Amino acid sequence: MEQYKGVLILGEIADGKLAPITSELLGIGKKLADELAEDLSVLLMGGKAGGLAKEAIAYGADKVYIAEDSLFDEYNSDAYTQLVANLCQKVLPSILLIGHTDIGCDLAPRLNGRLGGGLAMDVNELSIDHTTKLLVSTRPIFGGNAYARVISKTARPQMATVRSKVFPPAERDESKQGQVIPVEEKVDPSAIKVRVIERIREEVEGVKLEEAEVVVSGGHGIGSAKNFEMLWELARLLGGTVGATRRSCDEGWIPVTRQIGQSGKVVSPKLYFAVALSGAMSHIVGCLGSKYIVAINKDPEANIFNIAHFGIVADYKEVLPALTAKFKELLSAK
């Protein structure tokens, strides 16, 4: 076990730049590496990875592994698993941090299976235990109703996936020096069993959920796809957008890409309207970062009233039109 040393970050590249999650992982990774007095490294994969090495060093990496091959420009589970597993078996990192992204959610558990490590998914806290020097990961259990602290006593690497915006990005230091190491190994094409045929990105109407300042979310109590129009009216007026619970998505009232919560998106607007939704923790973990949560629900016992800052106990159909009308009046007077 002693031969496992250092913190390795799986870097992600988006639009030719380091993805925000990568600088965030470098930030927390640096903290952990410093506490262990070990190195921080990052792996960058893709046809243009080499050009980003300097950037990664400025964000704190001591070593940058570069797998410069356009094969990695698009994510393929088989190719990535093979390359990252091979590198880990050579470099023997003690800690491996991966984004809780489309890539990470697929790659991390599989890589763990191949390497025989110890993985905690979707962590919101990471620290080093002072006496044992083990990584302590905190992650939601029971849909966010509780949290667990997880360690790996002997399995290596100690792995975790982290959602974006959980940790602040690393600070830049242009003068920082680091080492760039090419990864020479090639992926064995016969190990690629899964072929990606196409990737469809859904066009979003208006503001992106993750960037919206106002989100109006509707739950199962909304009752129909048509009724969601009431939520859209309020959202558009306030320059925001519409979200949903899983039950609303299950009903097909709204696209699944608008689901908020543990298995959907995490949003942090100034204002979050929770309309006709009960406030299950697996939904709430997706909006806890909101500045103000406003609940509209006809059931005074609904859990959402334990979470919200403001609330109205009533049928939303009698509340929303009046709310939108009043906002319209107030905004035009402004």
Report d(CA 116, CA 268) in Å as an integer.
Answer: 35
**Binder to other proteins among 5, 114, 220, 236 (CB under 8 A)?**
114
Report d(CA 9, CA 25) in Å as an integer.
Answer: 7
Q: Which is nearer to other proteins, 116 or 189 (CB)?
A: 116
Write the binding mask 63 to 82 for other proteins: x where contact by CB under 8 A, - elsewhere.
Answer: --------------xx----
Residue 152 near ligand FAD by CB under 6 A: no
Residue 294 near other proteins by CB under 8 A: yes
Residue 133 near other proteins by CB under 8 A: no
Q: Which is nearer to ligand FAD, 97 or 284 (CB)?
A: 284
Report d(CA 197, CA 36) in Å as an integer.
Answer: 43
Report d(CA 304, CA 318) in Å as an integer.
Answer: 19
The option from ligand FAD, other proteins, none interacting with 112 (CB < 5 to 8 A, set by class) reads other proteins
Q: Which is nearer to other proteins, 63 or 246 (CB)?
A: 246
Using CB under 8 A as the binding rule, the residues of this chain from 218 to 247 that contact other proteins are 238, 246
Q: How far is the CB of 28 from other proteins (least distance, A)?
A: 19
Residue 116 near other proteins by CB under 8 A: yes
Burial (CB count <10 Å: 0-12, 13-18, 19+), residue 191: exposed
| Termini Cα distance of the chain | 65
Report d(CA 130, CA 144) in Å as an integer.
Answer: 27
Integer CA distances (angstroms), 128 to 8, 32, 34, 118, 196, in order:
15, 7, 10, 15, 39
Write the binding mask 185 to 224 for ligand FAD: x where contact by CB under 6 A, - elsewhere.
Answer: ----------------------------------xxx---
Residue 76 near ligand FAD by CB under 6 A: no
Burial (CB count <10 Å: 0-12, 13-18, 19+), residue 138: middle
Using CB under 6 A as the binding rule, the residues of this chain from 122 to 151 that contact ligand FAD are 143
Q: Which is nearer to other proteins, 90 or 291 (CB)?
A: 291
The option from ligand FAD, other proteins, none interacting with 261 (CB < 5 to 8 A, set by class) reads ligand FAD
Q: How far is the CB of 110 from other proteins (least distance, A)?
A: 4
The string of DSSP letters for 103-132 reads HHHHHHHHHHHHHT-EEEEEESEEEE-TTT
Report d(CA 162, CA 61) in Å as an integer.
Answer: 18
3 state DSSP class of 89:
helix
Residue 160 near other proteins by CB under 8 A: no
Residue 283 near ligand FAD by CB under 6 A: yes
Residue 248 near ligand FAD by CB under 6 A: yes
Integer CA distances (angstroms), 275 to 67, 190, 215, 253, 320, in order:
47, 51, 11, 14, 9
Strands 135-141 and 125-128: antiparallel
Q: Which is nearer to ligand FAD, 121 or 136 (CB)?
A: 121
Q: How far is the CB of 278 from ligand FAD (least distance, A)?
A: 3
Q: How many residues bind other proteins (CB under 8 A)?
A: 92
Residue 152 near other proteins by CB under 8 A: yes
Q: Which is nearer to other proteins, 60 or 157 (CB)?
A: 157
Q: Which is nearer to other proteins, 68 or 213 (CB)?
A: 213
The vertex-220 CA angle with 217 and 224, nearest 5°, equals 90
Contact residues: ligand FAD, CB under 6 A: 143, 219-221, 245-248, 259-264, 276-278, 280, 282-283, 286, 297-299, 302, 315-317
